Amino acid sequence: MSGQWNTVETHLLFDYYGALLTERQQKVLSMRLFDDLSLAEVAQELEISRQAVHDLVHRTIDQLQGYEERLHLIASERRRLKLLDELIDQLKSEFRVTEEVAGVLRELMRG
């Protein structure tokens, strides 16, 4: 992975694949993503170097991206939701399904 990482995508990757990480990887990435701590703050908290935190964060994100490249869980979910929206749009136009019913259908399908 190079350059700046996309925080929203990284959150999503963590939500889907975080359980596959080691406890240390989870902790460091969580501190960076959810606690919004700087590299220096994480390093101080864990008593390691800033560079070690940087490297661990980037390796961990690479690992999460690798899981998605192999398993495609996020991509499959996005495709499923797109098809659901298309189906609901078709139901609304062809069968005059109300927005309230469409909302219920979306909620049921998203679980």
Q: Does residue 15 sit in the same domain as residue 58?
A: yes
Secondary structure of the chain in the HEC alphabet?
Answer: CCCCCCHHHHHHHHHHHHHHCCHHHHHHHHHHHCCCCCHHHHHHHHCCCHHHHHHHHHHHHHHHHHHHHHHCHHHHHHHHHHHHHHHHHHHHHHHCCCHHHHHHHHHHHHC
CATH of the domain at 27: 1.10.10.10
Kindly report the pTM of this predicted structure.
0.83
What is the number of domains present in the chain?
A: 2
Note the pLDDT tens digit of each residue in 3-33: 456 889 999 999 999 999 999 999 999 999 9
pLDDT at 4: 56
Note the pLDDT tens digit of each residue in 49-76: 999 999 999 999 999 999 999 999 999 9
Asked whether residue 48 is assigned to any structural domain, the reply reads yes
Check residues 111 and 24 and name the one with the higher pLDDT.
24
Asked whether residue 92 is assigned to any structural domain, the reply reads yes
